[in-house]
Amino acid sequence: MPYGENGRRILVRWDLTLGPEDPSKVVILPVNSRWNSGEARGTIRELPAAKFSRITVAMKDQANWVSLAGAFSMEKALSDYLAIFPSRLEAGMIAHPSGEVRERTFTDKSRADVILQDRNGGLVVAECKQMLHR
């Protein structure tokens, strides 16, 4: 949304030359580079320079790069995202008023990933699938 959907906007800049270029990989930070409980609890927080430096070093080290394939459900992440931001599929789309919009299992054992409602009040079932890149 151009003016923010859930409050104020925050501009975040990141150095895209750090870390893996492959979108199926992430960086697992070594213990000494991770946030402590006090740092993690803050909603918006500036990182101390020393902590940021340790994170930068860790992101450059390919030994810390791991694949998301098999360890991270992109399907679940996508369905969670669509349940929260249904208008990203189509303008006027909303979460279904029943409130059960995520992974509903029916009596016949079939399952729906996300249940939404279009701008005309019609039922929309979004099925999310994870594709593995080889």
pLDDT digits (tens, 9 = 90+) for 19-46: 888 877 888 888 888 887 777 776 777 7
Banded pLDDT at 88 (limits 50, 70, 90): confident
Higher pLDDT, 69 or 92: 92
What was the pLDDT predicted at 71? 60
* Distance (Å, whole) CA 118 – CA 121: 5
Would the pTM count as exceeding 0.75?
A: no
Q: Cβ neighbours of residue 128 under 8 Å, at least 6 residues apart? A: 75, 76, 78, 79, 82, 113, 114
